[in-house]
Amino acid sequence: MAAPRRCAVVGRPITHSLSPVMHRAAYDALGLDWSYEALDVGPGGLTAFTEHLDEAWRGLSVTMPLKREAAELAVHRSDDVTFLGVANTLVREHDGWHASNTDVPGALTALREAGVECVRHVRVLGGGATAASLVLAAHRLGASRVSLHLREPARAAETLEVARALGMEVDVVGLETPVLDPVDLLVNTIPPTATAGRSHELVEASGAVFEALYDPWPSPLLRAAEEEGLPACSGLDLLVHQAVLQVVAMTGQVVDPQVLRAPAFDAVAAR
């Protein structure tokens, strides 16, 4: 029998992470005697952390603020990691750590599961690393135009760079700018307090909604989308599908998304 392997999610803050309940459920379903922890690693601390891991360690799920450092320390980077400059998955191979980004394909799966197959114009609230990944996902569904609604445009340089590198038409407006043009997809990556009272205004000008957050649950945007009868997916859907891909990368085995979805949704409902 193969020796048990170790995996973990790393970042800060980390106590809120749903990754342990999902990955442990996957290991149980696959009959693997593996462990998965949530470990606090602060900014700039990932490289030193990995240098002290023994051979039992197989993989790391990487959350903020370590995604850029994860990409930088890897000896091999997937195409998405090279393009975006951030990684959320590290897998230890014989030659070192291999980095991938499962957020992009995870988002695509979540959108298609919700019935979103084609996007031309996407509106994105926020401009951080999650926004950049979702801009890339929307582009792969056909999006050629992105409207970025930003509170601080200067802090969204990476997302702007991604959109422009993809050849997309880019509009940058303030977060409070009234919504005028209809879009095929609305993506939200910022706390609901930042758009308080505007959920219906935003949703009514959208063909579908991707709410990247899951706290609070359900969010005002998801409630508004349900009331309007629009296709919608959530940060939990993204979390599940990106974690499924992480399990495949780390274990080499495929797991049913529902195995991860049930404990994740139960954990959120219990909060």
- Residue among 24, 67, 77, 149 flagged as catalytic: 67
What is the DSSP code string of 55-101?
TTEEEEEE-TT-HHHHHHH-SEE-HHHHHHS--SEEEEETTEEEEE-
* Helices within the chain (DSSP H only): 19-30, 46-51, 67-73, 79-84, 103-113, 129-140, 157-165, 199-204, 220-228, 235-251, 257-269
Do the Cβ atoms of 86 and 68 come closer than 8 Å? yes
Do the Cβ atoms of 41 and 77 come closer than 8 Å? no
> Scanning the structure block, which residue is given the tokens 């601080």?
152
- 67 an active-site residue? yes
Main-chain phi, psi angles of 121, to 5 degrees: -125, 125
In angstroms and rounded to an integer, the radius of gyration of the C-alpha atoms of the chain is: 18
Active site residues: 67
